[in-house]
Amino acid sequence: PLFRLCEAVDWCTGTNKHGYIMHLTAPKLLGYGYVTPHQMDSMCSLAIVRNPYSRMVSIYGYNRFGKRETFKMFVRRWKKLMTPYLLEGEKEEWYTPCHLLPMFEFTHSDGKQLVQSVVKQEELKFLKTKEGGETLQQEDSTVTNLPDLVRDALLGMPHTNRRATSKKWFDYYDQETMDLAYQMYHTDFQVFGYDAAIPQRPDLVPPRKDRRSGLGATKFHQFSRNSCMGPDNLRISNADLFRSVTKEERSKMFRRSSTTALKSSIVALDKAEILASVAGIRHISILKEDSTEMDQSSAHENKKDD
- pLDDT at position 213, please? 54
Q: What is the pLDDT of residues 166-194, one digit of tens each?
A: 899 999 999 999 999 999 999 999 999 99
- pLDDT at position 248, please? 92
Mean pLDDT of 21-35: 85
Confidence check: pLDDT of 298 > 80: no
Q: What is the pLDDT of residues 239-268, one digit of tens each?
A: 999 999 999 988 887 776 666 666 666 666
User: CA-CA distance, 37 to 246, in Å (whole number)?
Assistant: 7
- pLDDT at position 6, please? 46
Rounded to two decimals, the pTM is 0.79
Average pLDDT, rounded, for the chain:
79
Confidence check: pLDDT of 153 > 80: yes
Lowest mean per-residue pLDDT among 119-123, 243-247, 286-290: 286-290
Instruction: Report the range out of 44-53, 161-170, 230-239, 288-297 with the highest average pLDDT.
Output: 44-53
- Count Cβ atoms within 10 A of the Cβ of residue 63 and give its class: 0-12 exposed, 13-18 middle, 19 or more buried: middle
Give the contacts of 46 (CB within 8 A, at least 6 positions apart). Answer: 115, 116, 117, 118, 119, 150, 153, 154
- pLDDT at position 14, please? 47
Half-sphere exposure of 277 (CA within 13 A, CB side): 18
Mean pLDDT of 213-218: 57
If DSSP states are collapsed to H, E and C, what string results for 184-223? HHHHHHHHHCCCCCCCCCCCCCCCCCCCCCHHHHCCCCCC
Angle at 163 between CA 186 and CA 52, to 5 degrees: 5
Mean pLDDT of 22-37: 87
For residues 273 and 14, which has the higher predicted lDDT (pLDDT)? Answer: 273
- pLDDT at position 107, please? 95
For residues 106 and 88, which has the higher predicted lDDT (pLDDT)? Answer: 106
Q: What is the pLDDT of residues 59-92, one digit of tens each?
A: 999 899 888 999 999 999 999 999 989 988 888 7
